[in-house]
Amino acid sequence: MIRNSQGRSLAEARGRSRLLPAALALSVIALAAMVAGCPCIRVPVNASPALRWWLFSNFGAQRICPEMLKRGLPLRTQDRAPAVGRFFPAQCGVDIDGDRQVVTVHFSGTGYAFTTLTRRVGFSCTASVEYRMDFWLGEEDIYVWGQVNRIVNGPSFRLGYVENPLADAATAATPLGTVANLFGNQIAAGELTRGFTVVRNEPRGDSFALGVIQPPQRPITPFDVSGSESLTYANETVEVHGNARDYLGPFEIVDEDQRLQLKLYLEGPAVDVLVVDRRTGDAWREDYQTGRPLGPPPGPVWAGAPLVSGRGEQRASYRLPVGQYYVVIDNTQYAGTMNPPFQPLNPLSDPMAKLSYVAQLGEE
């Protein structure tokens, strides 16, 4: 078992900073863990809003932005549907109002999404959201909630690139924006502003879901990681259409003895799995979401291999230098080795790949 300089295991040391795709959820895991170890304070913490607020504002709020800027947020058209795109925060600020006991998060960033009508689109989004924090301590589980109190500003959604020129021309003629704009606003408003739940359980690991889930319910994920001591970064299902990619992560390697571990289950056509460092991935993603011609990564590929369906659950383990890395799922002819044929803008000939995966940080 990997241990840090204080002799704690990796799971213990990193468990309090679990990298999940929602900013406020991450910031309060450490807070919940601090009070979980002493049963004598469970009842006072559950009963006292003032104590809960004091713990969060003193020990959690400063973690919000650093954690938010580490990871992309999956976007879905509806609950429990596969992800169809991602939003990547690039700027973040936090205001703490002690009198009202609320936290306002200001964030902006860029991303991409896919619809049958528009095909690939790129966008930017800015918003300010006010949250009221709360949590509940049970015998085994700690539920941490970030409940939206109000939308302070936005979300302001700006559509950039639209792959389908017919959809782009049609949307420009409407005074309210476009079909793509309306879709983008629906995604941004739905996924980024409806709150979240983190369930902390030491033996079973942490789990995350958008929306507020009450105990004893748990978030639904495609893979069961209960009992695993590895740090779980992501556990989700994505759709990657023809001539499209998904940029998973970034995932962070914090120690030279660690490995990025993947479990993957693919339905549909074969795809390439490519591991690139964050600098390369950010530049490659920027090209992708702004509509530049599809091409290979603008930097080194650290690892990867083709992924073929019909083989059940497949596993991969990568030893990488300390740093942050994207895992890129490529369903194009411009990167990797699979090279599927070019697909015209025809939804009837879309070779969509459906991938369920879990990404973890662990040992061999």
The predicted-structure confidence for 286-314, as pLDDT tens digits, reads as follows 999 999 999 999 999 999 999 999 999 99
Tell me: do 183 and 248 sit in the same domain: no
Q: Which of 36-50, 55-69, 259-273, 295-309 has the lowest mean pLDDT?
A: 36-50
**Quick one: which of 12, 13, 22 has its CA closest to 198?**
22
Is 19 contained in some domain?
yes
Whole-angstrom CA distances from 349 to 27, 340, 352 are: 43, 12, 9
Q: Which two tokens stand for residue 325?
A: 């890395």
Reported pTM? 0.78
224 neighbors 204 (Cβ within 8 angstroms) = no
Question: Range of 206's domain?
Answer: 10-59+73-210
Strand order of the β-sheet with 353-362 is 231-240, 353-362, 259-267, 314-319
Tell me: do 201 and 309 sit in the same domain: no
Is 338 contained in some domain?
yes
Tell me: do 204 and 235 sit in the same domain: no
Tell me: do 251 and 201 sit in the same domain: no
- Bigger pLDDT: 59 or 38? 59
- Bigger pLDDT: 69 or 42? 69
Tell me: do 151 and 186 sit in the same domain: yes
Is 54 contained in some domain?
yes
Tell me: do 297 and 199 sit in the same domain: no
Q: Which of 37-41, 84-88, 141-145, 327-331 has the lowest mean pLDDT?
A: 37-41
Rg, the chain, Cα only: 21
